[in-house]
Amino acid sequence: MISLPGIAQQKNKFTTQPAVLAIIKKNLADADAQYKVLATKLKPGEFPKTYHPETDKQENSNSGWWCSGFYPGTLLDLYQETHDKALLTEADRILAVLAKEQYNTHTHDLGFMMYCSFGTANRLNPSAEYKQILLNSAKSLSTRFNPKIGAIKSWDAKPSDFVVIIDNMMNLELLFWATKVSGDSSYYKIAVTHANTTIKNHYRADHSSYHVINYNPETGAVQEKKTAQGFANESAWARGQVWGLYGFTVMYRETKDKKYLDQANNIAEFVLNNPNLPADKIPYWDFNAANIPNALRDASAASIMASALLELCKYTNKADGARYFNTAQSIIKTLSSPQYKAEAGTNGGFILKHSVGHFPAGTEIDVPLTYADYYFVEAMKRYKAFAIK
Per-residue pLDDT of 89-126, as tens digits, reads 999 999 999 999 999 999 999 999 999 999 999 999 99
On whether residue 34 sits in a domain, the answer given is no
The span from the CA of 246 to the CA of 264, in Å, is 8
- Is 184 annotated as contributing to ligand binding? no
Question: What is the model's pTM?
Answer: 0.96
* Total tally of structural domains belonging to the chain: 1
Of 326, 301, 209, 212, the closest CA to residue 264 belongs to 209
165 SS3 class: strand
Which residues fall within 8 angstroms of residue 265, CB to CB, at 6 or more apart? 312, 316, 320
Tell me the residue range of the domain where 186 lies: 44-387
Element (H, E) at 209: none
Q: Looking at residues 217-221, what average pLDDT do you find?
A: 95
- Is 167 annotated as contributing to ligand binding? yes
The span from the CA of 48 to the CA of 369, in Å, is 9
* Residue 2's pLDDT band (cuts 50, 70, 90): very low
On whether residue 26 sits in a domain, the answer given is no
Please tell me what DSSP assigns to residue 348.
G
Dihedrals φ, ψ of 237, to 5°? Answer: -65, 125
- Per-residue pLDDT of 146-156, as tens digits, reads 999 999 999 99
On whether residue 25 sits in a domain, the answer given is no
Position 67, amino acid = C
Distance set, CA 183 to CA 3, 126, 144 (Å): 19, 18, 20
The span from the CA of 66 to the CA of 191, in Å, is 19
On whether residue 187 sits in a domain, the answer given is yes
Q: Is 362 exposed, middle or buried (0-12, 13-18, 19+ CB in 10 A)?
A: exposed
CATH assignment at residue 85:
1.50.10.10
Which residues fall within 8 angstroms of residue 262, CB to CB, at 6 or more apart? none
**Is 60 exceeded by the pLDDT of residue 7?**
no
The span from the CA of 368 to the CA of 31, in Å, is 13
For residue 9, the model assigns a pLDDT of 53
- Is 243 annotated as contributing to ligand binding? yes
Which residues fall within 8 angstroms of residue 104, CB to CB, at 6 or more apart? 64, 110, 113, 140
- Per-residue pLDDT of 308-325, as tens digits, reads 999 999 999 999 999 999
On whether residue 273 sits in a domain, the answer given is yes
- 365: β partners: 356
* Residue 13's pLDDT band (cuts 50, 70, 90): confident
Q: How far is CA 235 from the centre of its chain?
A: 20
On whether residue 334 sits in a domain, the answer given is yes
The span from the CA of 259 to the CA of 342, in Å, is 40
74 contacts 91 by C-beta, under 8 angstroms: no
Of 305, 369, 294, the closest CA to residue 334 belongs to 305
For residue 1, the model assigns a pLDDT of 38
Q: How far is CA 275 from the centre of its chain?
A: 24
The span from the CA of 257 to the CA of 253, in Å, is 8
- Per-residue pLDDT of 231-290, as tens digits, reads 999 999 999 999 999 999 999 999 999 999 999 999 999 999 999 999 999 999 999 999
The span from the CA of 264 to the CA of 278, in Å, is 21
Element (H, E) at 37: helix 18-39
On whether residue 237 sits in a domain, the answer given is yes
* Residue 11's pLDDT band (cuts 50, 70, 90): low
On whether residue 9 sits in a domain, the answer given is no
The span from the CA of 358 to the CA of 365, in Å, is 7
- Is 74 annotated as contributing to ligand binding? no
- Is 255 annotated as contributing to ligand binding? no
- Per-residue pLDDT of 277-296, as tens digits, reads 999 999 999 999 999 999 99
Position 345, amino acid = G
95 SS3 class: helix
* Residues catalogued as catalytic: 109, 167
Q: Looking at residues 164-176, what average pLDDT do you find?
A: 98
